[in-house]
Structure formats: C-alpha cells, structure tokens
Amino acid sequence: MSALIECVANFSEGRRSAVVESIVGAIADTSGATVLGYESDSDHNRAVVTFVGAPDSVAEAAFAGISRAADSIDMDEHRGQHPRIGAADVVPFVPLRGACMDECVRQARALAARVGAELRLPVFLYERAALQDVNRNLADIRRGGYEGLKRQLAAGEPPLPDYGPRKLGSAGGCVIGARDILIAFNVFLTTDDVAAARQIARRIRASSGGLPHVKALGLRVRGQAQVSMNLTNYRVTSIARVVEAIEREARTFGVDIASSQIVGLIPADALTAAEAERLRVENYSPARILERHLDKIK
Amino acid sequence: MSALIECVANFSEGRRSAVVESIVGAIADTSGATVLGYESDSDHNRAVVTFVGAPDSVAEAAFAGISRAADSIDMDEHRGQHPRIGAADVVPFVPLRGACMDECVRQARALAARVGAELRLPVFLYERAALQDVNRNLADIRRGGYEGLKRQLAAGEPPLPDYGPRKLGSAGGCVIGARDILIAFNVFLTTDDVAAARQIARRIRASSGGLPHVKALGLRVRGQAQVSMNLTNYRVTSIARVVEAIEREARTFGVDIASSQIVGLIPADALTAAEAERLRVENYSPARILERHLDKIK
C-alpha cells in the first residue's frame, strides 16, 4: 500500500454547477487521483473538492483544478459570504496513511512554484509550508479579500506572494500549503441576526482567547445567522465541546442552535470519541472501530 | 480487492491466558487470516477473538481455533457467568466487504460438517445457517448450558446437533452459523443487585416486548450488576437508544449507569450516527466519514 495524501481544495464558485463540475472533472481525470466528494454552497459561492492519492498524483490533480478554475472564474464578478482572494482560493495538502507532513510541505512548495510560473498567478504559501511567517495564518492572507489584496499588491504592501507576479488578474491569487486534518463545521442559529453570530464567533475563537484550535466567523447564510468554523485540532477541542460553547453563548442572546453542518469529510474519531464518552464506555479507543482495521487487509 | 468475511469466535476460557493465546495463535497462524483483536473476561470466563480474511481462509482459521480449544478446555471444570455449551462455544461468520450472507452460510455449514466428522464434536447450526428452525436462536441452544445439554442429549431431547455425535464429551458442543454484524455491549449499574439487572434486561429485550433487535441478560460481573446485550440491528435500535432505556429503567430501582463496555469491534456508524444526531448535523451520512473511503484506494 502506497503513501496517501489528501487535498481539500476550495474554489470560488458555488452557483454555476457546470463550472464546478468542470473543475472536479479536471481533478478526477488526473491519473492516480481519486475524488472522494465535493460540495458547493451558493451563499458562500464556493465549492470544496476532496481528493486523495499518491503525493505526486494529488499535486498533479491540484494543478489541473487550479488551472481550470483560473480559466473559468472571474473574481471581478464574484460575490459571496466568505473571505476569498482567488478562483482557486485555498489548496492544502494533508498527510494521510503512510505519508508525513514533510512530504506535503515539499509538494505544496513545488506546486506553488509551478502555479506561479506556468499559470502566472500570485501564490501564497501558508501553514506548515509557509516561507514567510506573516503568511502562516490563512485568515491574515485573506483578510482584505480579493478586492483588498488587489489594492495591497498595487501598493507593494503585504501579504506578498512567494511565487508568481506581484499583481492580481481576474483569477485572483492562490493560497497553497500543508496542514493537519481539520474539521470544517458550521452552526446555524435560530435567528437572522448576524451580529449575534459574529459576537459568538469572537467569543469562542482561539485568537480572542476562546477555545484552542478554533477559528470562527459570523456570517449570514440562507437568511440565517451562522457561526462558520475550522477546528484545527479536534483531539484537543472536539465538535461536541464547540457545540456546547456555542449553545451557552447563544443563550445570552436568547437564541438556540437550529442545526449544524459538516463540510467535506471528517475522521470517524471526531464523532465516535464524543459519543463513547457520553455513553460512559470505559474501554473505548479508536482501535474499537472495525473500519480502521479493514484498510490494512488486502 | 477480494471478498472479506469476519469471524467473531467465542471460546470458554478467560482466565488462563496461555490457553487463550494458544487459541489465538492457532487462528493467526492460518495463512490468509488476520486477527483484528481478542479480549478475555475472567468473570465470564470466556474470550472473544475477531478475525477476517477471504472466506476459505477464515473458515480454515476457525477450524484451527475450534480444534485447539477442544484440546485445551475441559468443560467439566469450567465456571463462568455466561451461558455456554462448549470449549469453542459460538463461531459465527459475518459478511463484510464484497461478501454476501450466502457465502457465510455455505462456509458455516461446511465447517460444521468438518468439525462434526474430524473433531467428533456435536455441532449446532444457528441463525442464517440453521438447518433446524428450533436451533435458529442461540439462546435456545444454550439455555441449559453445558450441564443441561449433556442431560438433554443423553435423553435424546432437543436441541439436537446437525453434525457430529449425539453425546457430549468434555469439550462440549459447538454452535456455528452466519449472521449480520452485531454489537456486544454491556452496561454496569451502580449496584451489586443482580436482580435489578435481570429485571431491566427482561424489560428491554425484544423477546419480552422491549426494544427490537435487543437480546439482554442480567449478570453479576466484577461484583457489579451488569446488563449484558447483543444488539442485532444497530441501525434500528442504536446503542444510544438502549442506554437511554436502561437509564430510565434503572431509575425505577433508584440506581444509575456506572459505565458501559464495548466487546470486540463496532462499526463506526454505530457511534457516529448518534453523535451527529445529538449535534443536530443536518447533512450527516455515513459517507461523511473519511475512513470509509480510504479502503477503496490502492
């Protein structure tokens, strides 16, 4: 069994399904890459495509997807609820079975150089693949969005790309990197008051002293207030813990949780561990899960 | 990727670890069989060994385990908290990836014939592999235990074996069959009153009008009252549902749940679905679980 890495690529298109399918097609057509799933959201106007394979194949498929997105998405026309800087907005590599972070960092940097040179897009390396410390955090790169980044690059202000031109065309920029597995998780509130969602997001996120390894934003999606999150270490801060905290904070606004959403795929353990705890299972460990053993069997 | 079946074999030895290891060794030494795990319980005085592989290999490994157990366990000396009729007490085959129930039934019946002929043990075929309707339910075969079965066979009374001699030696009998995946789950109460556990077991089990697909017994284990269960269709009656019911019934005795135990392995979905429901995830499906996709990747 060969080493496997995952790519969870975010593209700035969630409304024109033909465009999303064309990008997914470009990725799926790459030999050795397997698309595990994709989903698009019309409020966020973005699509998330999850694919896996041997490291070289996944990098090749990512290049194909970035190239197709850059050709078919005009950021000057793009409107959506989520911060974004480009057509192929964020492209992280994640080590899975038998792969290490160093391999993902190598692939990310090689892909960044190629995208800068061949597609002429400004590329920012982030997280574990960052070359500039100020670019390590995705939120810092995306803070001004596509429009802000255009002004910043024109003025020669950071964030500065690691590869490609220092100016923004209509395909925008691209953030490429390597990171551990993360869980993208959204909670809808029983209100349309986006100010409440923003306030709750501020209280629970790590950067303002909330829960460790939690990134959170308040948005309005489907006419409802939503707390949109990335949990960057679910073993330290579980989904269950985050939901509890949001429930508590929501009560101070006199509202409740309406529902929640998983974006993309999640490791089984992110749900099983919490459920086992709730059921007071004294002998739970991830090794109790049958499926964990089956991919070792030929 | 070839078809895979699972065997969850129960042996009547949970105290002498050298004997348990010798049985596990006999199984693991069989070419093409992989032992996923085993555990023994000294109160029940039994061990559960879970192994998988191609159907022929798993059947061969099961034969090796039965043979070793019959050679090393004397049922006339056996004491334990759990109903049992033999050294190799119950040997069910379960279809996993790419295998069907019919294949498991075929393997079970062929193994039963071989164990009857070569090891000279009375063999009872149960569940989906049953040849006699009265032997379909494991509890009916095991009701009188080893001691009762000895008397029944001597008197020519049912249960009657499908293969092998109609009398019991010191290795006892062996129940072989095919079934769907089941979850073995035990709940400890905050009391040593085994009568409470028995009463609760009676109230929740399917056979007395309780929860569908639940088999339950009240036992005393580690000096505590325990409700010991098999959930034979966790998609209909989940672990979470059973725990709720026991909690409710326990309250009528003024006691609570102390802890619970998973025996052997469980499918991820048995925990993830309940946790997702509790977190009000609106878009949960088993396909959200990353690991489910990975065993398809070469």
Least confident of A250-254, B112-116, B267-271: B267-271
Q: Taking residues B139-144, what's their average pLDDT?
A: 93
pLDDT at A112 over 80: yes
Calculated CA dihedral for residues A200, A204, A206, A211, nearest 10 degrees? -170
- Please report the pLDDT score of residue A44 as a whole number: 85
> Helix axis angle, A269-278 relative to B269-278, nearest 10°?
80
* Count of beta carbons in the 10 Å neighbourhood of residue A160: 14
- Please report the pLDDT score of residue A80 as a whole number: 81
> Helix axis angle, A269-278 relative to A239-251, nearest 10°?
70
Shortest CA gap B221–chain A (Å): 14
- Please report the pLDDT score of residue B278 as a whole number: 87
Nearest to A36 among B4, B240, B293 (CB): B293
A244 CB near a chain B CB, below 8 Å? no
Residue A25: which region, alpha, beta or left (left: phi > 0; alpha: psi -120 to 50)? Answer: alpha
Decide if A129 contacts A94 (C-beta within 8 A). no
Give the pLDDT band (50/70/90) at residue A251. very high
Between CA A173 and CA A151 the distance in angstroms is 13
Return mean pLDDT, chain B.
Answer: 94
Record: contact A260-B268, CB cut-off 8 A: no
Q: Taking residues B62-76, what's their average pLDDT?
A: 97
Could you tell me how many residues make up chain A?
Answer: 298
- Please report the pLDDT score of residue A287 as a whole number: 86
Q: Taking residues B182-196, what's their average pLDDT?
A: 96
Three-state SS across chain A? CCCCEEEEEEECCCCCHHHHHHHHHHHHCCCCEEEEEEEEECCCCEEEEEEEECHHHHHHHHHHHHHHHHHHCCHHHCCCCCCCCECEEEEEEEECCCCCHHHHHHHHHHHHHHHHHHCCCCEEEEECCCCCHHHCCHHHHHCCHHHHHHHHHHCCCCCCCCECCCCCCCCECEEEEECCCCEEEEEEECCCCHHHHHHHHHHHCHHHCCCCCEEEEEEEECCEEEEEEEECCCCCCCHHHHHHHHHHHHHCCCCCEEEEEEECCECCHHHHHHHHHHCCECCCCHHHEHHHHHCCCC
Q: Is A207 exposed, middle or buried (0-12, 13-18, 19+ CB in 10 A)?
A: exposed
pLDDT at A228 over 70: yes
- Please report the pLDDT score of residue B83 as a whole number: 87
Decide if B139 contacts B83 (C-beta within 8 A). yes
Nearest to B282 among A259, A289, A294 (CB): A259
- Please report the pLDDT score of residue A97 as a whole number: 84
Residue whose pair of structure tokens reads 């551990």 in the numeric block: A180
- Please report the pLDDT score of residue A1 as a whole number: 57
Residue whose pair of structure tokens reads 């790419």 in the numeric block: B98
Decide if B93 contacts B58 (C-beta within 8 A). yes
- Please report the pLDDT score of residue A298 as a whole number: 61
Q: Express each pLDDT in A164-223 by its tens digit.
A: 999 999 999 999 999 999 999 999 999 999 999 999 999 999 999 999 999 999 999 989
- Please report the pLDDT score of residue A70 as a whole number: 98
- Please report the pLDDT score of residue B290 as a whole number: 87
Decide if A258 contacts A224 (C-beta within 8 A). yes
A4 CB near a chain B CB, below 8 Å? yes
Q: Is B132 exposed, middle or buried (0-12, 13-18, 19+ CB in 10 A)?
A: middle
Higher-pLDDT residue of A30, A278: A30
Q: Nearest-CA neighbor of B107 among B244, B210, B3?
A: B3
Higher-pLDDT residue of A163, B41: A163
Beta-bridge partner residues of A183: A231
- Please report the pLDDT score of residue B133 as a whole number: 96
Give the pLDDT band (50/70/90) at residue A292. confident
Between CA B10 and CA A293 the distance in angstroms is 20
Contacts of A16 (CB under 8 A, 6+ apart): none
A17 CB near a chain B CB, below 8 Å? no
Residue whose pair of structure tokens reads 């929501």 in the numeric block: A250
**What is the residue-wise DSSP string for chain B?**
----EEEEEEES-SS-HHHHHHHHHHHHTSTTEEEEEEEEETTTTEEEEEEEESHHHHHHHHHHHHHHHHHH--GGG---SS---BSEEEEEEEE-TT--HHHHHHHHHHHHHHHHHHS---EEEEETT-SSGGGSSHHHHHTTHHHHHHHHHHTTPSSPPSBS-SS--TTB-EEEEE----EEEEEEESS--HHHHHHHHHHHSGGGTSSTTEEEEEEEETTEEEEEEEES-TTTS-HHHHHHHHHHHHHTTT--EEEEEEES-B-THHHHHHHHHHTTBTT--GGGBHHHHHTT--
A268 CB near a chain B CB, below 8 Å? yes
A3 CB near a chain B CB, below 8 Å? no
Q: From the candidates A188, A278, A279, A280, which should be mutated to test the interface with B, based on the most B CB atoms within 10 A? A: A279
- Please report the pLDDT score of residue B1 as a whole number: 57
pLDDT at B229 over 90: yes
Q: Nearest-CA neighbor of B213 among B250, B169, B252, B245?
A: B245
Shortest CA gap A158–chain B (Å): 36
Percent of chain B clearing pLDDT 70 (strictly above): 99
Record: contact A265-B2, CB cut-off 8 A: no
Return mean pLDDT, chain A.
Answer: 94
* Count of beta carbons in the 10 Å neighbourhood of residue A32: 15
Q: Taking residues B65-88, what's their average pLDDT?
A: 94
Catalytic residue among A44, A82, A213, A293: A82
Decide if A262 contacts A188 (C-beta within 8 A). no
- Please report the pLDDT score of residue A34 as a whole number: 95
